[in-house]
Amino acid sequence: MNGRNQPWRAIAARVLQGVENGQSLSQSLPPALTQVAPEQRPQLQAVCYGSCRWYHRLDAELRDRLSKPLRKPDRIIHQLMLVALFQLRYSEQPSYAVLNETVEACRALDKPHLTGLVNGVLRAAEREGQPEPADDPTRFSHPSWMVEKLRHNWPDDWQAILAANNAQAPMTLRVNARRFRRDDYLAQLQDAGIEATATRFAPHGIQLASPLPVDRLPWFADGAVSVQDEAAQLCTTLLDLAPGQRVLDACAAPGGKTCAILEACDDLQEVVAIDESADRLPRVRENLDRLDLTATLKQADAAATDQWWDGTPFDRILLDVPCSASGVIRRHPDIKLLRRESDIVPLAAIQLGLLAAMWRILQPGGRLVYATCSVFPQENHRIIQRFLKQQTGAVLVSPEVPWGRDMGAGRQLLPDPVSHDGFFYAVLEKDHS
């Protein structure tokens, strides 16, 4: 495909097709953005995110409007119509423009025989308005399995979680404590005309009233602040960091928490940051460089300790395991399409395996913080319970904190519609015996 000659909505349809086929937006969107004029990029991005956010609802409507599914080679026109429906239902775009440009994009995608169908379906959609959702997955625009799992796991909260997943996430900053006090940076923002407030729970957090490009933030390039959700920032408040400690960040990329650790405590002996992904590890280096921080980076499977560990135990370990990311769906709405119910059991096995492996390299008297950005207990407190059953000498610490819910074996934050993401933390200490 020669993107430069394609209308932006044809490119949006291709991005959505990529997500349907298992590609994440963070993989497929950056190359797509280079194929359109700079002034079209915000719209392309907003439409791709929005079409994923509302995919299940829009797709139910579109399937109802089609007398039969499109043939496989014409599937791209299904995605093109989803993009158009997203705009009709959730944007201010005038409908005549959506209709005309979608028909034009249908031609550009080399499907002139389907322009009549596209025109007819979208005209009817415009005339008849959005149908009442037939069921909860359609109403909340989530896959059925997620709705059922959340209903089962969170009988009192599932609807609030689903609604929060469809909200716009705030932009939150972590002030680099080595450079600024939070109040001073808030004053800098005020001087720059940027509305912001201190976060409720994270000591260095600032939430912006509306998102903006980072280059508009005072001294961003010089390392004054980083973009990080409030819940993610809380990791440093649980690690009980002190000078002289050797700290491991076992699943580190892109390095948000590695940098938070280094900012939170001067004079740590060493911070070792591991990630198995060769693509993601350079992001840790970029973040460290911008913030002028130092860590030892290693590309490795953290669990394969014989391949990277020097034999000296760590005083502190942060284990921010790979997970379903079900707590951050509002930031990554493609997760609704990418995740499968069958992913959860294998993920839980990986999480328990990583926890057991990291435990072996924790110093007696040391502390391990287990973290996920998931709201599924299978990946969270049930992992901790399973671990405590199999591991002697592991002591669960229940921190006295004003956030989240005590799950008996860790604390759960559910996604908050106006502040932090969904997150889970558990704190474990290794006794000296």
Ligand X SMILES: C[S@@+](CC[C@H](N)C(=O)[O-])C[C@H]1O[C@@H](n2cnc3c(N)ncnc32)[C@H](O)[C@@H]1O
Q: Which residues fall in the annotated binding site for S-adenosyl-L-methionine? A: 251-257, 275, 301, 320
**Applying CB under 6 A, does 276 fall inside the site for ligand X?**
yes
What's the token pair of residue 330? 């509002």
What's the token pair of residue 292? 């002028």
**Applying CB under 6 A, does 277 fall inside the site for ligand X?**
yes
**Applying CB under 6 A, does 274 fall inside the site for ligand X?**
yes
**Applying CB under 6 A, does 305 fall inside the site for ligand X?**
no
**Applying CB under 6 A, does 288 fall inside the site for ligand X?**
no
Distances (CA, A) of 210 to 164, 239, 414: 17, 31, 22
**Applying CB under 6 A, does 84 fall inside the site for ligand X?**
no
Of 105 and 328, the one with the shorter C-beta distance to ligand X is: 328
Least Å distance, CB 98 to ligand X, is 37
Least Å distance, CB 247 to ligand X, is 13
Contact with ligand X (CB under 6 A) among 303, 356, 388, 401:
303
Q: Which residue is nearest to ligand X (CB)?
A: 251
**Applying CB under 6 A, does 252 fall inside the site for ligand X?**
yes
Distances (CA, A) of 69 to 14, 83, 91, 170, 400: 18, 17, 26, 38, 55
Prior bond of 254 cis (ω within 30°): yes
List Cβ neighbours of 71 (8 Å cut-off, separation of 6 or more): none
Q: Which stretch binds ligand X (CB under 6 A): 82-90, 117-125, 140-148, 268-276?
A: 268-276
Contact with ligand X (CB under 6 A) among 143, 203, 218, 254:
254
Tally Cβ neighbours within 10 Å of residue 299: 16
Catalytic choice (48, 235, 259, 373):
373
**Applying CB under 6 A, does 420 fall inside the site for ligand X?**
no
Q: Which stretch binds ligand X (CB under 6 A): 42-50, 88-96, 114-122, 254-262?
A: 254-262
Q: Which stretch binds ligand X (CB under 6 A): 49-57, 216-224, 271-279, 334-342?
A: 271-279
Q: Which residue, chain included where needed, has tokens 């950056």?
A: 30
Tally Cβ neighbours within 10 Å of residue 204: 25
**Applying CB under 6 A, does 280 fall inside the site for ligand X?**
yes
Of 105 and 273, the one with the shorter C-beta distance to ligand X is: 273
How many residues contact ligand X, by CB under 6 A?
A: 19
**Applying CB under 6 A, does 421 fall inside the site for ligand X?**
no
Residue 329: which region, alpha, beta or left (left: phi > 0; alpha: psi -120 to 50)? alpha
What's the sign of the alpha-carbon dihedral 63, 68, 71, 76? Answer: negative
Contact (Cβ atoms closer than 8 angstroms) between residue 327 and residue 421: yes
**Applying CB under 6 A, does 256 fall inside the site for ligand X?**
yes
Do β-strands 270-275 and 246-249 pair in parallel, antiparallel, or remain unpaired? parallel
Q: Which stretch binds ligand X (CB under 6 A): 178-186, 214-222, 246-254, 387-395?
A: 246-254
Helix (H) or strand (E) holding 428: strand 423-430
**Applying CB under 6 A, does 253 fall inside the site for ligand X?**
yes
According to DSSP, residue 96 is labeled: H
According to DSSP, residue 393 is labeled: T
**Is 228 strand, coil or helix?**
coil
What's the sign of the alpha-carbon dihedral 347, 350, 352, 358? Answer: negative
**Applying CB under 6 A, does 251 fall inside the site for ligand X?**
yes
128-135 contacts, C-beta under 8 A, 24 or more apart: 130/61, 130/89, 131/61, 131/64, 133/57, 133/60, 134/60
Task: Please report, as residue ranges, which positions from 318 to 337 form the binding site for ligand X (by CB under 6 A).
Answer: 320, 322
**Applying CB under 6 A, does 227 fall inside the site for ligand X?**
no
Q: Which stretch binds ligand X (CB under 6 A): 22-30, 165-173, 208-216, 301-309?
A: 301-309
**Applying CB under 6 A, does 286 fall inside the site for ligand X?**
no
Annotated binding site: 251-257, 275, 301, 320
Contact (Cβ atoms closer than 8 angstroms) between residue 280 and residue 252: no
**Applying CB under 6 A, does 148 fall inside the site for ligand X?**
no
- Indicate if 235 belongs to the active site: no
Task: Please report, as residue ranges, which positions from 336 to 395 form the binding site for ligand X (by CB under 6 A).
Answer: 354
Of 137 and 205, the one with the shorter C-beta distance to ligand X is: 205
The residues annotated as belonging to the active site are 373
Query: Which residues in this chain contact ligand X in the complex, by CB under 6 A?
Result: 232, 251-257, 274-277, 280, 301-303, 320, 322, 354
